[in-house]
């Protein structure tokens, strides 16, 4: 069935660039997103032969102690506009191999993509004598999402989106003692030390800040530079920004396309103005691009303090705040001082510093990188973050456990009835 799904996706996406049309990301990123769905299907099939609970030693003679994992039942999946294919793939592929059915609500602004993906999945399921309704779709706005969050038939609700909406979803699900999986916002930082390889830093910072026009939850929004290399990196990065090819997302040569909506453009302009008012200087970009569509210039802002309100605000747009630091201890603290805790990166050759970064006094994020950007996570690792990012994990590692319910089972195969803890009940 996985081979058939891969074939159907490949056939469909060769003919159309629906992701670029409806979401606005460049064509190669759209292809990469579909490939991610294909890859997670492959991953899930392998995982299906490995999931299970341990057999534990029992303290009582003639007893066996095991963990049994069963499907939760129905998984509700609410996804955001920025990854209208891949995030559903993470959830649905793992949910299905755990034995669940899925009900998906994609973003209302990418509903054609949701319909196209659902038709592909339904065909593959039905070709393999599985009801297409195992992966069902509903379209609509916040009212539909609210109904899903409040419906007790949703055994698990997975929500990917903003922290603001995620908090409302969590409260509604918790009110009925339901289970939720939250993957929310990120205010991600890259830290560059004086010993960093700048040949890695410049393309990494560029990709992390400008990729998907800054509309990834893992987008780099803060760039901390050691004071000894600050000016050099800003100059090199500004030069790299000037070489970014801006244009039609369907054009294979384009590296940077439009924002998703006009509201996003307004949010961008408001953030740039706030940055100026709070002491920042725009060294690159900062304006709307005069062409049809929601195009804005990728933007670099310097001179702000690390705790400026706008720096602590996640703006879903291509604005990078560049900040100076002196010491390792202070910059690690600055990385952690924002409310979100999704992704983080350092660039250094110092082995001791690398392990301090990974340790309890280092990054408090769910994704902690070294010498790579904040974005571009692989499917094999659990994806998600801490604090206001929600604490959820999608795909990878042992995240399959979130899509199942666990039972601790004790089996007495003897003719006696010894009690735990050696209790004697006469």
Read off the pLDDT of each residue in 348-376 and give the average, rounded to a whole number: 97
Checking if the pLDDT of 13 tops 80, the result is no
Residues 6+ apart with CB under 8 A from 392: 158, 180, 181, 182, 183, 384, 402
Mean pLDDT over 370-395 rounds to 94
Kindly indicate the confidence band of residue 12, based on its pLDDT and cuts at 50, 70 and 90: low
Claim to verify: residue 224 and residue 157 sit in the same structural domain: no
| pLDDT score, position 422 | 79
Evaluate whether residue 400 is within a structural domain. yes
Say yes or no: 256 and 243 in one domain. Answer: yes
175 plus 193 within the same structural domain = no
φ, ψ for residue 136 (rounded to 5)? -95, 165
Mean pLDDT, the chain, integer: 94
131-186 pLDDT per residue, tens: 999 999 999 999 999 999 999 999 999 999 999 999 999 999 999 999 999 999 99
Q: In angstroms, rounded to a whole number, what is the distance separating the alpha carbons of residues 152 and 150?
A: 6
Residues 6+ apart with CB under 8 A from 322: 223, 225, 230, 233, 234, 237, 283, 300, 301, 302
How many CA atoms does the CB half-sphere of 149 hold within 13 Å?
23
What's the domain range around 237? Answer: 188-370
User: Does residue 376 sit within a domain?
Assistant: no
Amino acid 395: pLDDT: 87
pLDDT tier, 7 (very low <50, low <70, confident <90, very high otherwise) = low
pLDDT for the residue numbered 375:
95
Mean pLDDT of 118-127: 94
| Residue 385 lies inside a defined structural domain of this protein | no
What's the CA gap between 192 and 176, in Å, rounded?
45
Residues classed as catalytic? 183
Same-domain status, 131 and 159:
yes
- Alpha-carbon distance of 322 to 304, in angstroms, equals 8
d(CA 339, CA 193): 24
- Any idea what the CATH number is for the domain that residue 167 is in? 3.40.605.10
CA dihedral sign of residues 365, 371, 373, 378: negative
Whether residues 199 and 317 fall in one domain: yes
Q: Which of 107-111, 283-287, 374-378, 385-389 has the lowest mean pLDDT?
A: 374-378
Alpha carbon distance 55, 349 (integer Å): 43
Count the domains in the chain: 2
pLDDT above 80: residue 114: yes
DSSP for residue 421 = G
What is the reported pLDDT for 67?
97
Question: What percentage of the chain exceeds 90 in pLDDT?
Answer: 88
Q: Does residue 100 fall inside a structural domain? A: yes
Is there a single domain that holds both residue 48 and residue 107?
yes
**Has residue 324 been placed in a domain?**
yes
pLDDT over threshold 60, residue 289? yes
Give the pLDDT confidence score for residue 17 in this predicted structure.
73
pLDDT of residue 2: 58
Mean predicted confidence (pLDDT) in 5-25: 69
62 shares its domain with 174: yes
Whether 424 is in a domain gets the answer no
Q: Per-residue confidence at 15, pLDDT binned at 50, 70, 90?
A: very low
Residue 185: partners with Cβ closer than 8 Å, 6 or more residues away: 162, 163, 166, 217, 314, 340, 342, 388, 389
Q: For residue range 234-282, list pLDDT tens digits in order.
A: 999 999 999 999 999 989 899 999 999 999 999 999 999 999 999 999 9
Beta bridge partners of 386: 341
Residue 288 belongs to some domain of the structure:
yes
| pTM, to two decimals | 0.94
Residue 419 counted as domain residue: no
Instruction: Tell me: do 173 and 235 sit in the same domain.
Output: no
Question: Is the same domain home to 203 and 296?
Answer: yes
Output the domain CATH number for residue 327: 3.40.309.10
Helix or strand (DSSP H, E) at 300: strand 299-302
Q: How far are the Cα atoms of 184, 352, 392 from residue 366, in angstroms, in the given order?
A: 12, 21, 9
| DSSP assignment string, 30-59 | HHHHHHHHHHHHHHHHHHTTT--PPEE--S
Q: How confident is the model at residue 5 (pLDDT cuts 50, 70, 90)?
A: low
Q: Are residues 52 and 162 in the same domain?
A: yes
Q: Hey, what are 175's tokens?
A: 């009110």
Same domain, yes or no, for 178 and 143?
Answer: yes
Q: Which residues contact 305 (CB under 8 A, 6 or more apart)?
A: 279, 311, 323
Residue 217 C-alpha from the chain's centroid: 6
Same domain? For 144 and 193 the reply is no
């Amino acid at each position: 069935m996985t081979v058939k799904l891969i074939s159907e996706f490949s056939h469909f996406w060769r003919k159309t660039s629906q992701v670029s049309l409806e979401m606005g990301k460049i064509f190669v990123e759209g292809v990469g997103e579909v490939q991610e769905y294909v890859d997670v299907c492959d991953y899930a099939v392998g995982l299906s032969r490995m999931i299970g609970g341990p057999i534990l030693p029992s303290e009582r003679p003639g007893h066996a102690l095991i963990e049994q994992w069963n499907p939760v039942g129905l998984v509700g999946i609410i996804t955001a506009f920025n990854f209208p294919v891949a995030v559903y793939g993470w959830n649905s592929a793992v949910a299905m191999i755990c034995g669940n059915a899925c009900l998906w609500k994609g973003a209302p602004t990418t509903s054609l993509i949701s319909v196209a993906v659902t038709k592909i999945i339904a065909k593959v399921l039905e070709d393999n004598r599985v009801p297409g309704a195992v992966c069902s779709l509903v379209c609509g706005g916040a009212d539909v999402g609210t109904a899903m969050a409040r419906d007790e038939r949703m055994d698990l609700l997975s929500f990917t989106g903003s922290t603001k909406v995620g908090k409302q979803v969590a409260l509604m699900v918790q009110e009925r003692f339901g289970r939720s999986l939250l993957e929310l916002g990120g205010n991600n930082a890259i830290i560059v030390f004086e010993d960093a390889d700048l040949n890695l830093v410049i393309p990494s910072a560029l990709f992390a800040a400008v990729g998907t026009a800054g509309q990834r939850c893992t987008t780099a929004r803060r760039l901390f530079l050691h004071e000894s290399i600050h000016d050099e990196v800003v100059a090199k990065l500004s030069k790299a920004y000037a070489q970014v090819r801006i244009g039609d997302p369907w054009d294979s040569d384009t590296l940077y396309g439009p924002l998703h909506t006009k509201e996003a453009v307004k949010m961008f302009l408001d953030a740039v103005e706030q940055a100026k008012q709070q002491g920042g200087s725009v060294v690159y970009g900062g304006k709307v691009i005069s062409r049809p569509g929601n195009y804005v210039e990728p933007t670099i802002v310097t001179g702000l303090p690390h705790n400026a309100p706008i720096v602590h605000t996640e703006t879903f747009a291509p604005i990078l705040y560049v900040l100076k630091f002196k010491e390792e201890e202070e910059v690690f603290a600055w990385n952690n001082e924002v409310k979100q805790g999704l992704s983080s990166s350092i660039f250094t050759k110092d082995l001791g510093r690398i392990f301090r970064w990974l340790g309890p006094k280092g990054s408090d994020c769910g994704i902690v990188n070294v010498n790579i950007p904040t974005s571009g996570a692989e499917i094999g690792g659990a994806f998600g973050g801490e604090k206001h990012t929600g604490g959820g994990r999608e795909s990878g590692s042992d995240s399959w456990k979130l899509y199942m319910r666990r039972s601790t089972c004790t089996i007495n195969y003897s003719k006696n009835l010894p009690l735990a803890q050696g209790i004697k009940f006469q």
